């Protein structure tokens, strides 16, 4: 997380997997834009992300590259290995994939609730494992 360049605002239940790089995008030659991630966002392993705004209940698959100043709207999905060009706006409840990433299909209206359930479950299992590790270490 390159929070030294500009603020990165994270919502609730955001999951950022290992080796993911979140870097605020350049606005001009020497200024960066703040980056905002909504609630229940999943960022996969080895993702490179330079988006300005990521809505709620968004999933970015492993090895994806999201270019500078992109906007990912609520409930969208970027497929693994996709390369989203700079300044792209991914509409709500849409899947983008490929290189360069393009529209693949629409998602059903219940996807946001599925993503919420997944991120909450992931968080709860992480918290439970952390508590167990602390108990073992205390013995």
What was the pLDDT predicted at 7?
A: 83
pLDDT at 134: 67
Q: Could you read off the pLDDT of 94-103 as tens digits, one per residue? A: 999 999 999 9
Distance CA 129, CA 134 (A): 9
Q: How far apart are the first and last CA of the chain?
A: 34
What is the number of other CB atoms lying within 10 angstroms of the CB of residue 58?
27
The pair of three-digit structure tokens given for residue 102, joined into one six-digit string = 């393009």
Q: pLDDT by residue (tens digit) across 15-59?
A: 999 999 998 887 777 788 889 999 999 999 999 999 889 999 999
Omega before 116 within 30 of 0, i.e. cis: no
Query: 32 or 116, which is more confident?
Result: 116
DSSP code per residue over 62-131: TT-EE-TT-EE-TT-EE-TT-EEPTT-EEPTTEEEETTTTEEEEEPPTTHHHHHHHHHHHHHHHHHHHHH
């Amino acid at each position: 997380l390159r929070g030294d360049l500009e603020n990165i605002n994270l919502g609730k239940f955001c999951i950022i997997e290992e080796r993911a790089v979140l870097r605020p995008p350049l606005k001009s030659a020497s200024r960066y834009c703040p980056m905002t991630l909504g609630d229940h966002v999943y960022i996969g392993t080895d993702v490179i992300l330079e988006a300005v705004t990521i809505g709620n209940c968004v999933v970015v698959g492993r090895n994806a590259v999201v270019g500078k100043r992109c906007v990912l709207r609520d409930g969208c999905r970027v497929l693994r290995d996709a390369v989203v060009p700079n300044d792209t706006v991914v509409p709500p409840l849409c899947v983008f994939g490929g290189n360069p990433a393009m529209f693949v299909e629409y998602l059903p209206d219940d996807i946001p609730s599925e993503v919420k359930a997944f991120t909450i479950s992931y968080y709860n299992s992480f918290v439970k494992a952390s508590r167990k590790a602390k108990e073992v270490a205390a013995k």
